[in-house]
Structure 1
């Protein structure tokens, strides 16, 4: 039964990716639309939403997303986080530079308005700050994963404070988001985290075999950042997200 489910979903998944390539080629290539246009934003959202359904993800959302022009920060568990969040609201993600060069996926990410950071390179944080600032000033909602990597979802790694500079400089709302993929014991469903040296294909194959996967998006209240520096803001976001994860895991 699992094998049949995996093969069926994989075919749907690949077909959906090809459909995304076609749509992007038409609307972003031929018609020259960009992610700043509401119709194109809606198209991207709908495509990402459909992708999560194909993967068998059942999404529960609590709280209200901040208005446009805000900085959103979330814990990071797996590649599924991106279609999950991108299917709920129009948002521009900050991603590692390597993604830009991935076959097909990198091109789709660029056309969807993804912002990139070159990790480990001198001046990378400053360049990312400038890119994020431009997007935020243009009215976009920007989302980053300040842990800088994925985790099991049962705890939170320290947040990188430098990435919070645009929010301090522009004095804009900052909203923490908690992502969870809970199993029956309240902890993260063990097949979901994309961590350590696991290959992307192995993670995808594991998720494809599950009959259903529960996912939760908790939009926490936007923070008052007056008087905070970027380190203080990063710590406050990290603390709020960690506390919510600990509370939810005990339910």
Structure 2
């Protein structure tokens, strides 16, 4: 009964909030007004609280620009979590564009959709990401290329780090700043989550979206730690693949520290 009530309340909050903010966002997009960047953050913050995601930040977003955030990817909830702590745009796989509801929301947030399987489109996609970076937008890259179980960081795909390389020619001082970010789901109803409850948070790619979404909403009260590492000043002298490995290691360090409860308050 309580679970069903939660689903109704979350659904009602989603409809009311989205319908209230949608016209403003569409007008802002049409005019190119800066509110188009701020409005999604408000939406994400409210939806995090409604669903029961308690987000704790450790460290802070780098003030340097251009700025590429590179994060591990556990679940669709990562979008809400990162969107609630910073004004960002996401790099998403092309399939997301056609997902019901989530794809529509991703378009409204001005996500950059990429087709990873088609190499002939890589140059165009990298150019679009580079343009966003040079325009001063904070772009989020989930470099694993898929979601994980939340217990580990999978190997990073270095191809889209090419966007940072492509932006160097026009970047101030010839540098693009790459900041590692770790997302860790660490608690449920105020208790340490552990591996048993991790599937409530994690969404591996072979699990259907709708059942997982409903399960997460029914449970609610998830603690999420977002760990901002030190930004790396990437320039033309640095190897892209080695930089990807370095960022991967720092994201893994942040995740492990959060899962083991070794973060500073």
Instruction: Answer yes or no: is 1:60 the counterpart of 2:56.
Output: yes
More strand by share: 2
Please give the TM-score of this superposition, normalised by the length of structure 1: 0.89
1:47 to 32, 35, 43: 43
SS class of match (1:144) = strand
SS class of match (1:189) = helix
Q: Which residue of 2 is the match for residue 192 of structure 1?
A: 201
2:148 to 134, 148, 151: 151
Instruction: Answer yes or no: is 1:125 the counterpart of 2:122.
Output: yes
Alpha-carbon distance in 2 for matches of 1:224, 1:142: 15
Number of residue equivalences: 247
1:112-164 alpha-carbon deviations (Å, 9 max, x no partner): 11110012123243232111011111111100101000001211111111111
Contact 2:181/2:254, CA 8 A, preserved across alignment = no
Alpha-carbon distance in 2 for matches of 1:134, 1:198: 34
Over the residues paired in the alignment, what is the CA RMSD in angstroms? 2.1
Q: Which residue of 2 is the match for residue 246 of structure 1?
A: 256
Alpha-carbon distance in 1 for matches of 2:47, 2:193: 26
Structure 2: gaps (5+ residues): 169-174
Structure 1 residues 248 and 28, CA, compared in 2 at 3 Å: closer, same or farther? closer
Select between 206-215 and 8-17 the one with higher mean Cα deviation: 8-17
1:22 to 2, 7, 19: 19
Shift of 1:35: 9.4
Alpha-carbon distance in 1 for matches of 2:101, 2:220: 27
Contact 1:73/1:177, CA 8 A, preserved across alignment = yes
Shift of 1:43: 1.7
Contact 2:37/2:87, CA 8 A, preserved across alignment = yes
1:214 to 211, 223, 239: 223
Structure 1: gaps (5+ residues): none
Contact 1:34/1:111, CA 8 A, preserved across alignment = no
Structure 1 residues 185 and 192, CA, compared in 2 at 3 Å: closer, same or farther? closer
Q: Which residue of 2 is the match for residue 182 of structure 1?
A: 186
Alpha-carbon distance in 2 for matches of 1:109, 1:185: 29
Please give the TM-score of this superposition, normalised by the length of structure 2: 0.85
1:55-104 alpha-carbon deviations (Å, 9 max, x no partner): 11111101010235300000000000001101111001000111111233
Contact 2:66/2:137, CA 8 A, preserved across alignment = yes
Select between 108-117 and 222-231 the one with higher mean Cα deviation: 222-231
Alpha-carbon distance in 2 for matches of 1:32, 1:248: 37
Contact 1:95/1:115, CA 8 A, preserved across alignment = yes
Shift of 1:185: 6.0
Contact 1:9/1:54, CA 8 A, preserved across alignment = no
More helix by share: 2
Structure 1 residues 33 and 224, CA, compared in 2 at 3 Å: closer, same or farther? closer
